[in-house]
């Protein structure tokens, strides 16, 4: 799938160490600023006060470099990086009323070598396929890209294979240390639901699964991206796989989404404890169980039963605030606590479906985030 490794500004190289330290989206933005500053250095332009700079508006950053984020998210992250001193901001515009910001990376961050290994495709760096991320989601694009890398590695070995055998824990520890285990699991689950990857369970008792790419569907997506953005098409080898398919290894059982009929949604409401058998999302189970316990503590009764498809909708969407932003378990639990402390104007039965509706979670998230920031400011004042 050659379009995943095109040498193009739309492929953002990021140090894994940087992402672990400052956060995934923060590292992506810092890396792209570093790319453009180096680009200007090579062209010997935008040199001011002893440094090379790049400049852009928030809108242009979003449309040209980070279409998988929102303009608001880009602005918030840049502001955050500026406050932390990781991004240096300048203004060298010719027009006084031009407020376009100029950017460069703080020298102390550069001296630590967190940008030095960005041209490697090994563990020290990962790649963000910008167009693909805008189409299917940031985490999903990262996983597809990494899976394709390991498939290429396997093909180059003596006993070549078109499958990768890893556990969720292996993916998180060795490939995505900047993501939580729950996020990795949710990303894989989403890609399976989108029929972009195929996963099959091993017959052994180990927790590893076999993974491969659904070349047929990715071929369709790649051509769509090519038509929109002029990307390279799939390779001839991968094109052949679309026609032949990838044979399963001998020690696994087929378990992809094409063979899954889906469990019966059922018409009778059930408790969440009964629903647990229908999901393997450990993080969501922990959070919803916290909700059930908090509901009982505050309402002196058990939470009402829901239909299976309602519980499934809660689990699938619980961590997603919008199509770009997700929250972790700890934040969600704090949001739930805040939810039960909130008095709603129109009355509220505090059913979890109410928590999932409208902008309820967004409002609670902003309240919790503000509390985190105040605590951090207070804690830092004693440094």
Mean pLDDT value across the chain: 79
Tokens at 162, concatenated: 């078109």
Q: Which residue has the tokens 């189970």?
A: 285
Question: Residue 32: pLDDT above 90?
Answer: yes
270 or 265, greater pLDDT: 270
pLDDT at residue 61, as a whole number = 94
In tens, the pLDDT along 62-95 reads 999 999 888 888 998 999 999 999 999 999 998 8
> Do residues 267 and 309 make contact, with C-beta atoms less than 8 angstroms apart?
no
Question: Residue 244: pLDDT above 80?
Answer: no
Instruction: Quote the CA–CA distance of 233 and 4 in Å, as a whole number.
Output: 10
In tens, the pLDDT along 289-331 reads 999 999 999 999 999 999 998 998 999 888 887 644 678 888 8
Q: What percent of the chain has pLDDT over 70?
A: 75
pLDDT band at 253 (very low <50, low <70, confident <90, very high): very low
Instruction: Quote the CA–CA distance of 202 and 328 in Å, as a whole number.
Output: 29
* Rounded to 5°, angle at Cα 68 from 38 and 140: 105
**102 has which bridge partners?**
55, 90
Instruction: Quote the CA–CA distance of 133 and 165 in Å, as a whole number.
Output: 24
pLDDT at residue 360, as a whole number = 92
pLDDT band at 104 (very low <50, low <70, confident <90, very high): very high
Torsion sign (Cα): 214, 65, 332, 268: negative
What dihedral do alpha carbons 109, 110, 116, 119 form, nearest 10°? 90
Q: Which domains does the chain have, with CATH numbers?
A: 2-111 (1.10.10), 137-259 (1.10.10.10), 272-380 (no CATH)
Mean pLDDT for the stretch of residues 113-138:
73
Segments in 126-170 forming alpha helices (H): 130-136, 138-156, 168-170
> Do residues 124 and 17 make contact, with C-beta atoms less than 8 angstroms apart?
yes
Q: What is the largest CA-CA distance in the chain?
A: 70
What dihedral do alpha carbons 264, 268, 270, 276 form, nearest 10°? 0
What dihedral do alpha carbons 95, 96, 102, 107 form, nearest 10°? 130
> Do residues 141 and 126 make contact, with C-beta atoms less than 8 angstroms apart?
no
Question: Residue 56: pLDDT above 50?
Answer: yes
> Do residues 288 and 329 make contact, with C-beta atoms less than 8 angstroms apart?
no
> Do residues 145 and 20 make contact, with C-beta atoms less than 8 angstroms apart?
no
Instruction: Quote the CA–CA distance of 59 and 65 in Å, as a whole number.
Output: 10
């Amino acid at each position: 799938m050659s379009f995943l490794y095109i040498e193009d500004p739309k492929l953002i190289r990021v140090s894994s160490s940087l992402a672990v330290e400052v956060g995934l989206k923060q590292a992506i933005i810092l890396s792209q600023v570093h790319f453009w500053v180096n680009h200007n250095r090579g062209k010997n332009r935008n040199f001011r006060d002893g440094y090379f700079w790049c400049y852009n508006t928030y809108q242009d950053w979003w449309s040209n470099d980070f279409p998988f984020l929102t303009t608001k998210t880009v602005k918030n992250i840049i502001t955050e990086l500026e406050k932390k001193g990781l991004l240096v901001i300048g203004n060298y515009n010719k027009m006084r009323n031009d407020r376009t910001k100029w950017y460069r990376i703080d020298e102390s961050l550069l001296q630590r070598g967190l940008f030095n290994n960005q041209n490697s495709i090994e563990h020290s760096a990962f790649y963000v396929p910008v167009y693909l991320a805008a189409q299917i989601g940031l985490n999903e694009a990262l996983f597809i890209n990494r899976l394709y890398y390991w498939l290429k590695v396997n093909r180059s070995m003596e006993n070549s294979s078109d499958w990768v055998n890893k556990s969720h824990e292996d993916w998180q520890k060795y490939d995505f240390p900047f993501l939580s285990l729950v996020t990795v699991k949710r990303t894989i689950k989403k890609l399976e639901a989108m029929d972009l990857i195929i996963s099959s369970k091993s017959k052994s008792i180990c927790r590893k699964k076999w993974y491969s790419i659904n070349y047929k569907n990715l071929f369709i997506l790649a051509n769509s991206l090519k038509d929109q953005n002029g990307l390279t098409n799939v390779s001839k080898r991968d094109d052949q796989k679309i026609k032949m398919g990838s044979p399963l290894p001998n020690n696994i059982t087929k378990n992809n989404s094409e063979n899954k009929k889906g469990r019966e949604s059922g018409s009778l409401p059930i408790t969440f404890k009964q629903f647990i058998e229908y999901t393997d999302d450990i993080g969501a189970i922990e959070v919803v169980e916290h909700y059930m316990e908090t509901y009982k503590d505050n309402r002196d009764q058990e939470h009402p039963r829901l239909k299976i498809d309602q519980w499934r909708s809660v689990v699938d969407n619980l961590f997603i605030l919008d199509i770009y932003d997700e929250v972790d378990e700890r934040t969600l639990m704090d949001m739930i606590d805040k939810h039960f402390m909130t008095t709603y104007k129109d009355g509220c039965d505090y059913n979890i479906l109410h928590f999932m509706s409208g902008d309820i979670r967004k409002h609670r998230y902003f309240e919790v985030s503000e509390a985190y920031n105040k605590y951090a400011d207070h804690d830092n004042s004693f440094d």
